Structure formats: structure tokens, C-alpha cells
Amino acid sequence: GEDVEQSLFLSVREGDSSVINCTYTDSSSTYLYWYKQEPGAGLQLLTYIFSNMDMKQDQRLTVLLNKKDKHLSLRIADTQTGDSAIYFCAVRTGGGNKLTFGTGTQLKVEL
Amino acid sequence: GAVVSQHPSRVICKSGTSVKIECRSLDFQATTMFWYRQFPKQSLMLMATSNEGSKATYEQGVEKDKFLINHASLTLSTLTVTSAHPEDSSFYICSARTAHGDTEAFFGQGTRLTVV
């Protein structure tokens, strides 16, 4: 089955850019997502990218997809304290409905 | 975006009792809903996929007699934790996909279950 990995922790200073990385194993993955989870809350969809795209930009968020290396990244420009949260990448494979989630990256933004 | 509402957000129950968690799609019809469990500082583990009008499909290792799922309408799915034990304490999150089967899944705010 699909295996999705993320680094567990990232610390950045306010105003810097954050880059959160994700790797996956199934090359037939179709949609790849980034979700944000604040403490005690559900998941908020931030953005997603279809597998035939290399990049997607949405305001402060930039998603890069390297299909050859099965590597996905989320860049947050001008990171703010309100961006502190856990970020999950998730992968949808083939024609199925299931999402496989990564382990989550705890982003800490310091003043 | 579409809104998914979970209720209750927090529940404390005694061992041996049953607890029902509701997941509602408020402004769209959800033919498919998903139930996840999240342990502290861990990722989401899919428990089951619920399709309206049919039996849920459970992931390997999930006891279907313990975690009863009902998806009786296009806007409501329920998860009942039967004969709850302290090890069932967890954060349960549902998500829903629209009838168009589009790219996005919308998540509820989660339910914190504590079994004492």
C-alpha cells in the first residue's frame, strides 16, 4: 500500500519562508493534498495538486511536485505565528476514494 | 467550501457504555463519508468508508461490531463506539466527499472521546 512520510518538526522565524516536505511511494497517485490542523481541531484543506502538474501557487502557498522522486513540498511565504500548526500531506491513489496521510509536520513559528 | 459538522465535539463516557458521533454535511450531499481515528501526536488512520444506503467498508484491524457505522442519508453518517473501553479514547474525525466525486474531501472538526 501507499506509504507517506514527513519530517516531524520544523521551526522557523516569523517572516521567513517555511518548506514542509513529503515523500510517497505509489507512483499512480492522482491527487496530493496539504491539510492544516490546529490543536484540538479538525483538518482544514489548504491546497491540492493533480499529478500532472509540477507546481501550484495560491497566495502565500506554493506546492511543488516532483513525480520522478515522488516528492511533494509546501512552501509558506512570510510565515506568521498563526501558521503554527500540524501540516499533513495526503495522497489519493488511483480511482479510489481513500486518502493516505503522512505523519504530520509540526510547524513552530518563533518571533 | 463545503461544511462538515461533527457532534459532539467532546464526550466523556463510562466504560461499557456506547457513544454515538454524528457527521453531517451541511450544504452538500455526501455519497461517501470517511471515519478516521487520530492518536495524540500521530497521523490519521482511516477506520472505514461509509457509502449512503450500503454497508460500510472497514479497514483491516478495525472491529466492525465495535465501531458501528450508519450512513442512512446523503447528509448524515454516524459512528457508534459500542461497549467503550479506555483504550477507545481518541480523537475521531469524519470527512465527506460530494456526490460529484470531486477532488476535495471536507473534514469535520473532530470529536474528542474520553472513556473513564
> By mean pLDDT, which of A30-34, B1-5, B85-89 is the weakest?
B1-5
Residues of B with CB below 8 A from A45's CB?
A: 1, 104-107
Q: Long-range contacts made by residues A44-48, C-beta under 8 angstroms, separation at least 24?
A: A44/B107, A45/B1, A45/B104, A45/B105, A45/B106, A45/B107, A46/A74, A46/A87, A47/A74, A48/B103, A48/B104
pLDDT at residue B114, as a whole number? 96
Over residues B22-65, the pLDDT tens digits come to 999 998 888 889 999 998 777 889 999 988 888 899 999 999 99
A–B CB contacts, 8 A cutoff, strictly below: 51
Query: Best residue in A99, A106, A107 to probe B by mutation, most B CBs within 10 Å?
Result: A99
Confidence band for A87, pLDDT divided at 50, 70 and 90: very high
Q: Compare CB distances from A41 to B34, B44, B110 and report the shortest one's residue.
A: B110
The Cα of A13 is separated from the nearest Cα of chain B by a number of Å equal to: 23
Contact between B1 and A42 using a beta-carbon 8 Å cutoff: no
